Amino acid sequence: MSLTQRAADPAALRRKRARERWCTLGFLSPWLVGFSVFFGYPLLATVYFSFMHYNQIEPPTFVGLRNWAYVLTQMPLFGPALWNTVWLVVVMVALRVAFGLGVGLLVTKIKAGVGFFRTAFYIPYLAPPVAATVAFVFLLNPGTGPVNGLLARIGIHAPNWFNDPAWAKPSLVLLSLWGIGDLMVIFMAALLDVPREQYEAAELDGAGPLSRFRYVTWPNITPIVMFAVVTGVVQTMQYYTQALVAGKLASGVTIGPGSQIQPGYPDHSTLTVPQLVWSLGFQNFNTGAACVLSLVLFALAMAVTTLLMRKRAGLLAAED
């Protein structure tokens, strides 16, 4: 039977279409189930709990908008958490992209020992975040860390890094710049993909290095830069591990008399919204308030996502 003949039979066609539909559903089923169970349900439950008082021991009781009023107006930590998160998103993403681009550019220009340098620049990215944070808290320890020791020898009075409210966030940014490997590699790939002819044409036209960058390099790598910005923003909005671990370790709080881990040490300067959600939910066991804050975080994430999706940032393939 020829293909056209097969297609002409309506019953067979219907069966084929039905089979295709089942096939699609079948292949998608793991994700469909996962999406509803591990995303849809918790989201609805979070909304539900945001109107409840629940300390995970006694049954939940309905309290209306009390949790909302509390989180949005009566919780002094709400403002700092939001501010810190926004600060980190803006500063960390901007600096990471710029530094990653710079390092990527540098690597493309290295002639001697490219392999060594490239590996050396990349390896810190592989360090697990907790390990990297522990290392940096030690290195930047104002009293006993090597960095301050070295700086003192040169005569520079170094700041207190993770123990100084004004320097804690910059120290976290420094930590993230250390792990620039991933951005460096994608920028490198993008830079190397710029067509040679365009550079040569520009050179022949007498364009200096700055103009070459502005008119040849930049337009070619803009999509990658946008991608880096988008993913950076998404990542930093969830910034949790490094800030929490750095705060815990820098405060030197051991489990001892009257001590309680306070996220955001020093002075709530590194407190981010995700950390506050954890603190409300798992330190104070105030489930209702934690859920309210989760929804605020969700709204923020969705707002940013839709904004960035508008610009596509190359996330969808051409055929979509």
Closer of 98 and 238 to another protein (Cβ): 238
Q: How far is the CB of 301 from another protein (least distance, A)?
A: 6
320's tokens: 């979509």
Q: How far is the CB of 228 from another protein (least distance, A)?
A: 9
Closer of 169 and 291 to another protein (Cβ): 291
Closer of 90 and 279 to another protein (Cβ): 279
Q: How far is the CB of 113 from another protein (least distance, A)?
A: 8
Q: How far is the CB of 49 from another protein (least distance, A)?
A: 7
Q: Beta strands of the chain (E only): which ranges?
A: 52-53, 61-62
Q: DSSP letters of 9-31? A: -HHHHHHHHHHHHHHHHHHHHHH
Closer of 33 and 94 to another protein (Cβ): 33
Cβ atoms of 107 and 184 within 8 Å: the answer is: yes
Q: How far is the CB of 269 from another protein (least distance, A)?
A: 12
Alpha carbons 292 and 47: distance in angstroms, whole number: 8
Q: How far is the CB of 274 from another protein (least distance, A)?
A: 4
Closer of 124 and 170 to another protein (Cβ): 124
Q: Residue 233: which of 171, 301, 176 has the closest Cα?
A: 301
Q: How far is the CB of 211 from another protein (least distance, A)?
A: 8
Q: How far is the CB of 259 from another protein (least distance, A)?
A: 7
Closer of 64 and 223 to another protein (Cβ): 223
Closer of 83 and 138 to another protein (Cβ): 138
Closer of 44 and 90 to another protein (Cβ): 44
